[in-house]
């Protein structure tokens, strides 16, 4: 039996899958944010209850919204405060007496869509999350490619094209990672907001405190000039970033995830725009909408053990 845990800032979701990845059982509990022993205990209890009710000792994979120190596996950045500085995979492996695998939730998304979701008939797939941030993962022949230390696929922190920043007269925005000009600042959902706010201020001389991606997209539908301009720049920047990933990995499909993956116009417009950033003779990969929705987290986490048992 394969168990997948999707751990978020509000809930922990555990799902059990059989050898064919049919969903067998699922449970949710709220996430203890400030008490690490309670956090570990909650997860252990959920897993042990599944072992009892399913009469097995399932493999445990976890999708987690954080960044690990690649030397000692402690978490350095995560929205669940009690896990900061802790080596979750080692602690849980010991408690549950089995090898617990933990991966970034963006990688779990990529794995689930590539193996079980919209890209399952493709060979070499990049899952590109465009939500608050821009994360992702590459899956080749059903295997997640993590690199030696696990940060392969961190496309959001590859520098955005200097040519495009100059062409569109945009500033070099600082990134939460400590670098400046990272693609994430231009191609994520927050990137669209950054671009719109910048153009709005330039046009009206007034700062715009808050705007959501949905508000910008509804302005696009109403043919608002500033929103149309921001969206055109956003598409160009996103297409260039995806072309970079294609030239790195030679893909046959890209699956989009995160809030911006709900914008239907992306699937119409991106193929031609990606082609503009590729040299002659390079085919554009299929650009696909995700299929599994919220369940991609637990499915991808459970898949971490596939091929390892």
Size of the site for Zn ion (CB under 5 A): 5
Decide whether 179 or 282 has the Cβ nearer to Zn ion.
Answer: 179
Contact positions with Zn ion (CB under 5 A) in 135-164:
157
Decide whether 50 or 173 has the Cβ nearer to Zn ion.
Answer: 173
Position among 179, 208, 232, 289 found at the interface with Zn ion (CB under 5 A): 179
Decide whether 95 or 177 has the Cβ nearer to Zn ion.
Answer: 177
Residue 280 makes CB contacts below 8 A (sequence gap 6+) with none
Residue 58 makes CB contacts below 8 A (sequence gap 6+) with 1, 2, 3, 16, 47, 50, 51
Q: Cβ of residue 157: shortest distance to Zn ion, in angstroms?
A: 4
Decide whether 179 or 208 has the Cβ nearer to Zn ion.
Answer: 179
Q: What's the rounded Cα separation, in Å, for the pair 245 and 285?
A: 11
Task: Find out whether 60 and 12 touch, Cβ atoms under 8 Å.
Answer: no
Decide whether 188 or 261 has the Cβ nearer to Zn ion.
Answer: 188
Position among 88, 92, 139, 175 found at the interface with Zn ion (CB under 5 A): 175
Asked if 208 interacts with Zn ion (CB under 5 A), we say: no
Q: Which stretch binds Zn ion (CB under 5 A): 59-67, 103-111, 169-177, 186-194?
A: 169-177
Task: Find out whether 129 and 106 touch, Cβ atoms under 8 Å.
Answer: yes
Position among 116, 129, 182, 187 found at the interface with Zn ion (CB under 5 A): 182
Nearest CA-CA partner of 32 in 40, 21, 44, 20: 40
**Helix H or strand E encompassing 101:** strand 100-104
Residue 264 makes CB contacts below 8 A (sequence gap 6+) with none
Residues at the contact surface with Zn ion, assessed by CB under 5 A? 157, 175, 177, 179, 182
């Amino acid at each position: 039996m394969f168990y997948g845990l999707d751990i978020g800032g509000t809930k922990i979701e555990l799902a059990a899958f059989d050898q064919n990845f049919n969903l067998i059982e699922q449970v949710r509990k709220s996430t203890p944010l400030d008490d690490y022993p309670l956090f570990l205990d909650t997860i252990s209890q959920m897993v042990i209850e599944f072992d009892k009710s399913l009469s097995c000792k399932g493999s445990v994979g976890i999708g987690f919204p954080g960044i690990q120190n690649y030397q000692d596996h402690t978490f350095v950045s995560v929205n669940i405060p009690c896990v900061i500085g802790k080596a979750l995979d080692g602690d849980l492996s010991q408690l549950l007496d089995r090898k617990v695998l933990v991966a970034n939730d963006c990688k779990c998304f990529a794995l689930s869509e590539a193996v079980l979701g919209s890209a399952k008939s493709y060979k070499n797939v990049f899952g590109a999350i465009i939500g608050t941030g821009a994360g992702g993962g590459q899956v080749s022949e059903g295997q997640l490619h993590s690199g030696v230390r696990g940060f392969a696929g961190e496309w959001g922190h590859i520098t955005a094209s200097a040519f495009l920043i100059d062409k569109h007269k945009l500033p070099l925005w600082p990134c939460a990672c400590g670098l400046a000009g990272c693609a994430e600042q231009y191609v994520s959902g927050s990137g669209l907001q950054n671009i719109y706010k910048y153009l709005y201020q330039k046009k009206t001389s007034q700062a715009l405190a808050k705007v959501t991606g949905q508000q910008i997209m509804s302005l696009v539908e109403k043919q608002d000039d500033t929103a149309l301009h921001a969206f055109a720049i956003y598409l160009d920047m996103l297409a260039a970033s995806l072309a970079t990933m294609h030239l790195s990995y030679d893909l046959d499909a890209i699956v989009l995830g995160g809030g911006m993956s709900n914008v239907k116009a992306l699937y119409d417009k991106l193929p031609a725009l990606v082609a503009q950033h590729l040299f002659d003779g390079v085919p554009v990969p299929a650009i696909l909408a995700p299929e599994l929705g919220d369940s991609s987290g637990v499915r991808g986490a459970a898949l971490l053990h596939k091929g390892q048992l």
